A and B are shown apart, each in its own frame.
Chain A
Amino acid sequence: MREVLEGSQAVARTVARCRPGVVCAYPISPQTHIVEALSVMARTGELSACEYVNVESEFSAMSVSIGASAAGSRAYTATASQGLLYMAEAVYNAAGMGLPIVMTVANRAVGAPINIWNDHSDAMAMRDAGWLQLYAADNQEAADLHVIAFAAAEELGIPAMVCMDGFVLTHATDVLELATQEQIDAFLPPYSPAQALDIENPSTIGTMAGPESFTETKYLQHLRFLDAAGVIEAWSERFRKAFGREAGGLVARYDPDTLDRDGDAPPASAEDLAVVAMGSVVGTLQATLAPMRAEGLPVRLVGIGAYRPFPREALKAALGDSRHIVVVDRALELGAGGVLTGDVGRALAHTGSRIHSVVAGLGGRPILEASLRDAVRRALADELPALDFLDLKAGGVPEPPVGATEVAR
């Protein structure tokens, strides 16, 4: 049934239908609507056989999730921005312990300056924490990704973040079709923990590892992470067959002309400028690029679905023979450029590709179709620099006098 729903409500209802055993979270904008909705469902009984735990901080939220998962329960939480950073120590621990917790990250900038609006700097700060990171292009995918995330995380024994752009998606209302309880019950296997604490058979999860075994432990974690790409792809394909729509996957391909999502779309060709992006800007790019294609401009769109593990091979396959790439990046690596651009660059090493980093939408700056169109036109005309800040206000940044950035020693 197609219905009109706020993104957060869609996520909350889908998570509830995944039958978590424990939901634990601490409110922080722009994630709050999700856990508020889940708490209402816990009270009304729509979310049954689930313990909803109120805690006093994000650190506790992740710690309770770890405890719940280690005790053999399907565990879910959600956070954003400073909340994610506050739980950082426990985020790493969940991955190191192999606990398949699913967490929604309603992507939000990280202060200072304090800013409640969207960019990807929060999840990027956790890029090496050992979690899967799946990015939603729209609210339909945000809801659907949670089903795939539970399935993939539990098969792998690796926790998963489902990243959705804060406010842009969480607070937007769209026409959506939610997976029903029956569909999810048929799709998502009941949680069968690979490891669970049991007082009859005592064991330890998360022991100390000294210099004699820490490297090997990390190596094994690395090998498991290498398995993740195949598992994510397989569950996404099963989802497409079961639900008749695409969600998840490592890389999203788009029809060259309609810009509709299409896994069977051909790779980009040598004449094409390829625009790579992840998150909700993909929707704005679909709207922007379709008319440009109609004008005859050689431009293609590739979406990053899984940022961790980074889908090097799938990205190279989608880019085909294109060697001219624009990465629209919603997080900044200070002194370098876009964070995603760094990953794309590493994936395309030794391919002779020209890569532009367009840093856009930081701290909630709206990403406009006209600005994207301008950046693409400049790239096609060889006028786009290697690093560009979209809609940077002229004169908005005080120009330091020449030499002022050099510190006398």
Chain B
Amino acid sequence: MTQVRIHGRGGQGVVTAAEMLARAGFLAGHEVQAIPSFGSERTGAPVVAYCRFSDARLRTREPVLEPDVVLVQDPTLLGPARPFAGLAPGGIVIVDTTADAPWVREHAGAQDADARVVTVPATRIAMDLLGRPKPAAAMLGAYAGCADHITLDAVQQVFRARFPGAVGEANAEVATTAFAHVRGDLYTRDDSPEKGDAAAPAGPRIVPQEVSRA
């Protein structure tokens, strides 16, 4: 069984990410389960969702306490949400940030954690290609890039099915870009505007917010 925990903020599509992850896992042949943890929270409040993959039918309803993979959709949650808590030894932590892994470890107080930390500028990619701060497709694309639980093709499929048309296509491209980023083809769009401009959404461009390092 593979267990995943997703941290983010209300409005970022955390629950959607968990559901899309389950759908992608099902396409990969797993039994799957996605469990959102709802609060009566508003947009911006911390939200957690969980996902499980297994070869056997999933029966438990308890939240994921010992994740193999943690996705953090907002780096300002690295401290308060304690994303490394309960992480299985050698587990993967994928963080939406323009910063690097040592910065993530420092801000999560996890300098010595037995973990593989992967960073991806998911919100920046989403803003560039989708025009909205919805990093879910990028996070799942990054996940597909660093573990074989799901495939990039499955991630693209589930977003195209959920958001038919231009939004689904843009999400598929977001996933591809994030996948390429973690595979080493670092995302350099902001540094090299000539790269991939054809995919830029029409309308005013919103400058991605830089993560505060204070």
Could you tell me which A residues sit within 8 Å of B by CB distance? 4, 6, 29-30, 116-117, 138, 165, 167-168, 171-175, 259, 280-281, 283-284, 286-288, 366-369
Contact = CB atoms under 8 A, between A and B. Distances in A.
Leading 9 A-B pairs by shortest Cβ distance? A287-B60, A173-B34, A283-B59, A286-B59, A4-B26, A287-B59, A284-B61, A4-B23, A173-B19
Contacts of B38: 29-30, 116-117, 167, 171
Given A172-B36, A175-B31, 19 more contacts: A4-B19, A4-B22, A4-B23, A4-B26, A6-B19, A138-B59, A168-B35, A172-B33, A172-B61, A173-B33, A174-B32, A174-B33, A175-B32, A175-B33, A259-B59, A284-B60, A286-B59, A286-B60, A366-B63
B62 A367 contact: yes
B26 A368 contact: no
* Max chain A C-beta neighbours (<10 A), residue from B15, B23, B59: B59
Contacts of A368: 62, 65
* Max chain B C-beta neighbours (<10 A), residue from A4, A165, A167, A286: A4
Contact of A173 (B18, B62, B65): B18
Contact of A366 (B34, B36, B40, B62): B62
Contacts of A117: 38
B200 interface: no
B48 to A, nearest CB: 11
A171 B31 CA distance: 17
B151 to A, nearest CB: 16
21 contacts: A4-B22, A4-B26, A6-B19, A29-B38, A30-B38, A165-B61, A172-B34, A172-B36, A172-B61, A173-B19, A173-B23, A174-B32, A175-B26, A259-B59, A281-B61, A284-B59, A287-B59, A287-B60, A288-B60, A367-B62, A369-B60
Given A4-B32, A172-B33, A175-B32, A369 B58 contact: no
Given A4-B23, A6-B19, A284 B36 contact: no
Nearest to A260: B57
* Interface SS majority for chain B: mixed
Contacts of A286: 59-60
Interface string B34-63: 111010100000000000000000111111
Contacts of B33: 172-175
Interface residues of B, number: 21
Contacts of B62: 284, 287, 366-369
Interface string B130-160: 0000000000000000000000000000000
A137 B35 CA distance: 15
A281 B41 CA distance: 25
A105 B36 CA distance: 19
Contacts of A171: 15, 35-36, 38
A309 to B, nearest CB: 26
Contacts of A284: 59-62
B59 A167 contact: no
Nearest to B63: A366
Contacts of A138: 59
Contacts of B65: 368
A363 to B, nearest CB: 12
A288 B22 CA distance: 23
Interface in B61-82: 61-63, 65
B26 to A, nearest CB: 5
Interface string B73-94: 0000000000000000000000
Contacts of B63: 366
Given A4-B22, A4-B23, A167-B38, A174 B61 contact: no
Contacts of A167: 36, 38
Contacts of A175: 26, 31-33
A91 to B, nearest CB: 25
Contact of B22 (A29, A173, A281, A366): A173
A217 B65 CA distance: 53
Nearest to A288: B60
Given A167-B38, A171-B38, A367 B58 contact: no
A283 B61 contact: yes
Nearest to A279: B61
Contacts of A280: 61
Contacts of B32: 4, 173-175
Contacts of A172: 33-36, 61
Nearest to B65: A368
Contacts of B19: 4, 6, 173
